[in-house]
Amino acid sequence: MRDNARRLFTILTVILALWLVLGFWPLSIGNQVIFSLCILLVGGAALWRQRRRAVSRQRPEIVLPPEDFQGAVVLVCGDTDGLFLGRSAHCETRHGWYLRGERAEQLPRLAQYLAAARPALVSQVSVLLAVVPEHHPSGEQLAQSLRDWRRSIVQCRTWLNGLPPVWSVFWVTPPGGQAGESRWFTVTPERPGLQVQQKGQVPQSVAEWQREGSPASRLHQTLWLESILTLAENALFRPFRARQAELPPLNLCAAGICLTPVAAVANNLWQQQIAGITTLSPGNAAAPGPHPLPDLLLSSLPHRHGVSRRMRDAGLAAGVGFLFLVLAMLASFINNQRLVRSVGDHLAVYH
């Protein structure tokens, strides 16, 4: 639909330009022919270029949300393998539409494609940096991966009307490797400190959560949580807050930690991290399916104001119409001045 609107807009511009040249501007026949040919050539070249761009932009493997989608649109980057079934490039939930960026160089192209195909949804876009420490064999490898993703996130601001809201979630296997239900720890702007949240329950502070249930279980998970926070601070939060060469500081608007079984590589970074703190083991249980998506954080993301595609197209059409009226009135004024001078010359001859 957007490509058709651009073609109609180009055709309308060509018609109005020809109308000005042939109907308003005082030009000789030769100049009218020359200007008309130039307008037709430029219009034809513009239509041909739009056609080529439409064909090259076709990405059948990416399913975009509809134009009237009201939920959050999330570009997911980082460790995305466990979040999407198979090789799927998108996932839809009740509250959001997740689009997968498999590689760092692909994320800016995905943002460009989304902005071109769904400009009305740009204000609803955020970027989720997914981190699964058990997928990385060393801290150096994770740091390099995060630097690459940081660079690609900054590049997205060209297409998304500035830097979009950026947030991050860590997925980590709980103590012992088994969990009856995934447990979330979140940091959001509207609630102070670290919050604990489970499905269907009101968020509560970590201090309140520690006073409930089995003390031993809470102690294990608290040690687990402190280790994750230490890893996140050293690998993600602190480096992103600092300027890196041409990259500006990147402050996260929200963060989360999900304790859920994760498929891990041997001798991974998380095993190395936890071995220096406690004798507890993450376990080797296979992940039962895709990792839980962080829908509970979507309501905490900042909202931006955007301009819909219809409003943008209407503004362009109004601008072209206004320019046409100004030029037509100017041409009419010039013609009237020439007519007045011609009549004055004839009257001077008779007198």
* pTM: predicted TM-score of the whole model, two decimal places: 0.74
Q: Where are any strands of DSSP class E within the chain?
A: 72-78, 90-92, 96-100, 125-131, 166-172, 183-188, 191-197, 204-205, 254-259
Q: Specify the pLDDT at position 215.
A: 66
Per-domain boundaries in the chain? 2-56+316-350, 72-300
Residue type for position 69: F
Mean pLDDT of 36-49: 88
Query: Is residue 257 classed as helix, strand or coil in its secondary structure?
Result: strand
CA 302 to chain CA mean position, Å: 13
Per-residue pLDDT at 222 exceeds 90: no
Q: Specify the pLDDT at position 159.
A: 86
Q: If pLDDT is split at 50, 70 and 90, which confidence band does 199 have?
A: low
Mean pLDDT of 239-249: 85
Q: If pLDDT is split at 50, 70 and 90, which confidence band does 266 have?
A: confident
Q: Specify the pLDDT at position 182.
A: 79
- Which of 83-92, 213-222, 271-280 is predicted most confidently? 83-92
Query: By the 8 A CB rule, do 148 and 260 touch?
Result: no
**Cα–Cα distance measured from residue 120 to residue 69, given in angstroms and rounded to the nearest whole number:** 9
Q: Is the model more confident about 104 or about 306?
A: 104
Per-residue pLDDT at 228 exceeds 60: yes
Q: If pLDDT is split at 50, 70 and 90, which confidence band does 2 have?
A: low
* Residue 81: closest CA among 6, 21, 163, 171: 171
User: For the sheet containing 254-259, what is the strand order?
Assistant: 90-92, 96-100, 72-78, 125-131, 166-172, 254-259, 183-188, 191-197, 204-205
- Which of 123-127, 201-205, 314-318 is predicted most confidently? 123-127
* Residue 182: closest CA among 18, 336, 339, 294: 294
**Cα–Cα distance measured from residue 82 to residue 100, given in angstroms and rounded to the nearest whole number:** 11
Residue-averaged pLDDT of the chain:
82
CA atoms within 13 A on the CB side of 251: 5
- Convert the pLDDT of each residue in 135-164 to its tens digit: 998 889 999 999 999 999 999 988 888 889
Q: Specify the pLDDT at position 148.
A: 93
Q: Please report, for residues 23, 209, 220, the alpha-carbon distance to residue 99 in angstroms, rounded to integers and kept in the order given.
A: 51, 33, 35
